[in-house]
A and B are shown apart, each in its own frame.
Chain A
Amino acid sequence: MLFKLLGAPFTLPMAGMKFVFQQVADLADQELNDESVLREQLLLLQVQLEDGDIDEDEFAEREAELLARLREIKERKRAEAEAIPAEANVDAPRRMIVETPFDE
């Protein structure tokens, strides 16, 4: 992983560089792993369709692309979850959460 390769920061010439690289690595990691990035892109796509910036065909194509990536991430997470302790997998009990930001 990119993050691990950059794990020798002392060889880098400047502390500033290290920071920049760290950020790049974090972003790359996030792009690969973070569902929320994909969800935001889906939202953006929706807005672009409603604003008429893209047509139905383009929407369908890009939506499929994003969903495929989202599915990949979920699959990987599920695989990871199953690889660790048995009780942590999807058959674990779930709690119902009622959220009312209205209260705040």
Chain B
Amino acid sequence: MADAVHAVRFARVSLALVFGVACTGRVAALSGEDASGGTGGGPTTGGQAGQPSQGGQTPSIEDLVVMPRRLQRIGNDEFVWSLVDLVNGSEALRQSLQKGMPLESVGEHGFAQPGPLGLVEVDRLLEKAKLAAATVGFETRVDGKPLIACSATVAAGQAEATCATATLAALATRAYRRPLLTDEKADLVQVFADARAATGSTFLTALHTGVTAVFTSPAFLYHDEDPDQRPPGVAVVTDTALAAKLAATFWRSTPDAALTALATQQKLHNPDVLASEVKRLSEDPRSERGLIAFFDELLGTANLASVTRTSADKAWTAERASALADDLAKLIHDTLVTGDGRLVTLINKGLLAAGAVMAAQSQSNEASPIKRGRLVRERILCDPMPAPPPNVPVLPEPGQTPVSERERFAEHSRNPSCNVCHERMDPIGFAFAGYDHLGRAVAGSVDTSGKLVDVDGTTSRFANKDDLFAKLAQSDQARRCFATQWVRFALGRQVTAADSAGMERLFTGFADGNIKDLFAEVTRSAAFRQEKLEEVSQ
């Protein structure tokens, strides 16, 4: 009986997730295949509107849809981390590179999506490339080996051209994430030679120009690891391209020597080898980069340093923003890199109440139960909320009238046009009333009780934030949502109804909430390892 009840309820949840439940309470069929309304909302579940998957067969993970190959630019953090790794740069270099990177837009899948490169972006990337190139010296060592293929003494002699050729070829091979094409090598050598011929140049200054050319080459800036023409049709990506995808997903960087070696040996598609490499990558400290990128974008904490607060808030400083980001990173690291890797642990440890999240999900002058509730609603439960209607009533200023925070925000619940959405957000947001807009714990006793309206409309009350976390940690909806969000992030695209069978398989495998296993499953998917090749038309 309990199973039957669960099945009925699960079907209702699936229905809501597939079609999206608008705040009006109506089940709104969306026009496209996607279930989310296009803003990183609801996850897709099995089949059509709650129908079981095909004929009771166990669907294969390979059912995640294979997409056509498109020229994809590397993102900001991949650009920065790659440069840092390629020149074995310092933390100071990373910070310098990070500052002022071009803005990235958010794709329909709810995560950053690098757009076309325009003048602004090219200008900025050139500046960053020069900055990284200028750090290259004879003392620079990468993986224990000198980056420059000769000593300063040799470079001063006739052999410098040979040295520059070897240096640039090795660097470009790593930067381009694939073997160099013949003309690419010759082109880089020519850049060096021209720079070296200029008055006042030195071996190093000319080499820096060549290195800058590597870092601004489209072969570095785009994922173009398979330059050979292949017949149209669905095909597995080359081992070289797979290595690049793995490094980009987990490390936001270029493959290391071990990954490159496996790709060269064409072993990466072997399931055991792939699983082993995913384990290695996800347990390497560099995996924190991919994880932080994911959680920052998921929770809206990516640009904490640029969050504005009123000038009266002297406590809000760049140092505080940085410290909050570090705290969040540590929580993620301790749980997912060195810990048990489980979603329930992550939630129970207070991911959603981390200071960085609390500060990011606030107004400039006060905490916002609406923003915090909306975050949980949309990003943790994948239940998209529509934009506010016009003529939103103005809430009383904080402290203006002697009413509690709940009373101030109660206006939303009294107003019928607001209520249908806000009753799904605000009561969740009240769980975080113990944190102010700077992410600090509020002194004294605070009422953090509220209620959680499920996507199927059922309501459960929670006594405090920990109670909410416990409910979320056990929530099937939250677990499915998390898996969906990771798939979106890892594939860089929206999840559609066509992915349903594959997603169901993922959900099943993720029943225990082991995030590390989820990572491995996604990398095994057809969508990750295959691509649809099209006839190249000129």
Tell me, yes or no, whether A binds B. no
